[in-house]
């Protein structure tokens, strides 16, 4: 895992030495992504400059140094990521081929030289962002992996084209402005992250998953061309044409074979490897297969909370004990919240409001003390129907479409009459006499969510109401309202598909790369830890989408085929019911540990500094949250993360 940056000085407005100095500054900003080595390359005329920070994972010697020049001297490569099948791909070369070392960088460069870009990309399995410069054609190719695990940002100021792994590297250049894109801001408040190719800053873009951006330099001009070399929706539709005809048990063997292959390849490293283990189905399966493929006891890491109703660390420990794993459980203490919160805007560069970012950072910090690579179970929900919305969405839509519209809105208001504090008090009372402590888990939060989704009328409405924040209003001024009317996300429309499958595909295209992968990548790389996601393998993806939906979702349960694999490999272990993931006591923290910090940011004097925000509306819901009239934890978190980011980046809008 690494960090990369580069400059194309296509109008010769900057000197060779200036580009060299700026590229070095860019690399300095992403040193956390690659603390082990610094690399630099520049063409003789200064037209193209690469800088690179390396985290040494495969081949710890200088033979893996980047940027790397090909044997022909025509190709120069820098990349961020891992090619998991690179040793297997070396068999494509003549046995007499002289390799300098054992790094995947060298393999990748040799493949590009032998097969070209298109055939090489077809062959490789991995997570990556690649920058490949061709000296003979004056062409730069920027390539992002299929699922968007690794990030790439770029901008063009009509004199320079610059790119980097993180926005902070672009910001140290003299060519990036601090202007905010208001459309992106509206998108942020709905999603809690900035989706797609949009970026919070004007004129900055993200390369999308599965894309190649070709930049041809000629006569002081550049020509850009985007190529979608891999599309999740295209592959889903192709996979669904060849539906698996065996039974569930047979299907589980096919999935296990593909998942085991992915896990085995991702365990390869010249540094210690561990696993993020929540105790849920996905991370449990990764841990079980990893232990079976490992000659030593695997290392697992988990995080718990002071609040018992949110603490599921016992589930992870139970599985680790079953496996004989070397397990570490970290407690996220309330007194650690504020110091962590104050670092978030620097780690994430853009406003980003998935509060699970906090335990992910803490988990990464502790894991880095003993490993340099950690496998995670992310991606299993999107592939195998794990999110509640995939199971409940079709049922809810069927019911609410039978309700007259006036009654829908009346019911929505009724659901918000009883304060969350009273609902929670009732739940606590019931739980004292209930054997199942999770039967009414977070009932107030679920009723609040139901008050939003009951107003839906179409699949798209329901999906947006289940996924989006700030359902009734965005916290921006009326003068900017036209920018935010949009903001309904079009749901995927697959061939011969169900509502559940369309939601899974939509999440794969947006929520997975722009929330899940961003959260994990920035958290882990902030401490120089590489994370790997075995579920995000394109061969496994095709196997998963070959399966009929009822092998994933049936009645009130998801991930049926994964549960079958789990039962076969660890028959004495039962996965926990009602797994919550990284849910945390955010609402309580805002009223207690974070109250002073939040009150400062959400005060009238603070909010009025940002003309874009609807000050009175935000203050009113903050007061309602404090008085426990309602639970606005996630809505408020998005505002807090925006203001904290704006303050730290000296943004005035």
The burial of 335, by beta-carbon neighbours within 10 Å (0-12 exposed, 13-18 middle, 19 or more buried), is given as exposed
Closest to 465 (Cα-Cα) out of 477, 480, 455: 455
Distances (CA, A) of 543 to 242, 253, 565: 10, 11, 14
Which residue has tokens 């509502």? 499
Angle of helix 388-400 relative to helix 499-509, nearest 10 degrees, comes to 130
Write the DSSP assignment of 359-378 as a string of letters.
HHHHHHHHHHTT-SEEE--T
The residues, ordered by sequence, that sit 6+ positions from 141 with a Cβ below 8 Å of its Cβ are 117, 130, 131, 132, 134, 212, 213, 214, 215
SS3 label, residue 611 = coil
Q: What does the alpha-carbon distance between residue 15 and residue 328 come to, in Å, rounded to a whole number?
A: 52
Residue 517 is a catalytic residue: no
> How far does Cα 640 stand from its chain's mean position?
20
DSSP assignment letter at 73: S
> How far does Cα 568 stand from its chain's mean position?
30
Contact 277/301 with Cβ under 8 angstroms?
A: yes
| Catalytic choice (2, 19, 510, 517) | 2
Q: What does the alpha-carbon distance between residue 628 and residue 420 come to, in Å, rounded to a whole number?
A: 6
* CA angle at 386 for the pair 486 and 149, rounded to the nearest 5°: 65
SS (H, E, C) 312-333: CHHHHHHHHHHHCCEEEEEEEC
Where in the sequence numbering do the catalytic residues fall? 2
């Amino acid at each position: 895992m690494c960090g990369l940056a580069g400059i194309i000085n296509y109008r010769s407005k900057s000197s060779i030495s200036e580009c060299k100095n700026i590229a070095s500054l860019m690399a300095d900003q992403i040193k956390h992504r690659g603390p082990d080595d610094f690399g630099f390359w520049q063409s003789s005329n200064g037209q193209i400059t690469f800088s690179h920070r390396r985290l040494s994972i495969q081949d710890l010697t200088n033979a893996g140094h980047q940027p790397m020049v090909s044997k022909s001297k025509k190709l120069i490569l820098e990349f961020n990521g891992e090619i998991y099948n690179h040793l297997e791909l070396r068999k494509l070369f003549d046995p007499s081929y002289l390799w300098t070392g054992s790094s995947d960088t060298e393999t990748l460069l040799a493949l590009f030289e032998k097969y070209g870009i298109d055939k090489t990309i077809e062959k490789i399995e991995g997570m990556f962002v690649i920058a490949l410069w061709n000296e003979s054609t004056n062409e730069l190719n920027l390539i992002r992996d299929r699922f968007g695990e690794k990030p790439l940002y770029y901008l063009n100021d009509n004199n320079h084209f610059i790119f980097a792994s993180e926005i902070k590297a672009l910001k140290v250049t003299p060519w990036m402005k601090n202007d905010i894109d208001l459309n992106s801001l509206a998108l942020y408040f709905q999603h809690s992250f900035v989706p797609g190719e949009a970026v919070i800053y004007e004129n900055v873009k993200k390369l999308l998953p599965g894309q190649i951006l070709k930049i041809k330099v000629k006569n002081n001009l550049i020509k850009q061309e985007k190529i979608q070399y891999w599309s999740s929706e295209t592959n889903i539709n192709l996979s669904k044409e060849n539906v698996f005809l065996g039974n569930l048990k047979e299907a589980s063997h096919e999935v296990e074979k593909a998942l085991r292959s992915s896990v085995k390849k991702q365990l390869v490293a010249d540094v210690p490897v561990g696993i993020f283990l929540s105790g849920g189905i996905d991370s449990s399966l990764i841990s079980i297969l990893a232990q079976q493929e490992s000659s030593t006891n695997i290392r697992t890491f988990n995080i718990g909370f002071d609040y018992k109703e949110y603490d599921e660390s016992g589930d992870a420990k139970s599985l680790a004990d079953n496996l004989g794993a070397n397990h570490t459980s970290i407690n996220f203490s309330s007194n650690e919240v504020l110091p962590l919160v104050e670092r978030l805007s620097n780690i994430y560069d853009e406003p980003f409001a998935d509060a699970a970012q906090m335990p992910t950072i803490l988990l990464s910090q502790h894991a880095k003390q003993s490993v340099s690579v950690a496998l995670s179970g992310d991606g299993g929900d999107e592939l195998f129907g794990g999110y509640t919305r995939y199971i409940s969405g079709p049922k809810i839509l069927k019911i609410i479409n039978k309700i007259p519209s006036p009654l829908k809105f009346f019911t929505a208001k009724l659901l918000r009459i009883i304060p969350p504090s009273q609902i929670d008090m009732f739940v606590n009372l019931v739980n004292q006499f209930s054997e199942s402590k999770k039967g009414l888990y977070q009932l107030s939060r679920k009723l609040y969510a139901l008050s939003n989704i009951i107003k839906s009328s179409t699949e798209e409405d329901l999906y947006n109401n289940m996924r989006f924040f700030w359902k009734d209003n965005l916290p921006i001024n009326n003068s900017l309202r036209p920018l935010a009317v949009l903001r309904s996300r079009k749901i995927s429309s697959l061939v011969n598909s169900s509502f559940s499958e369309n939601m899974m595909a939509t999440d794969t295209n947006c929520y997975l790369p722009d929330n899940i992968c961003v959260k994990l990548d920035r958290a882990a790389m902030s401490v120089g830890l590489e994370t790997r996601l075995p579920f995000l393998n394109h061969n496994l993806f095709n196997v998963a989408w070959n399966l009929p939906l009822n092998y994933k979702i049936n009645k009130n349960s998801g991930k049926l085929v994964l549960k079958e694999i789990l039962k076969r490999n660890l028959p004495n272990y039962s996965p926990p019911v009602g797994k919550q993931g990284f849910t945390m006591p955010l609402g309580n923290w805002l009223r207690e540990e974070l109250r002073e910090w939040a009150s400062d940011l959400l005060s009238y004097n603070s909010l009025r500094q940002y003309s874009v925000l609807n000050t009175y509306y935000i203050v009113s819901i903050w007061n309602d949250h404090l008085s426990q009239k309602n639970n606005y934890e996630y809505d408020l978190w998005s505002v807090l993360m925006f203001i904290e980011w704006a303050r730290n980046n000296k943004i005035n809008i």
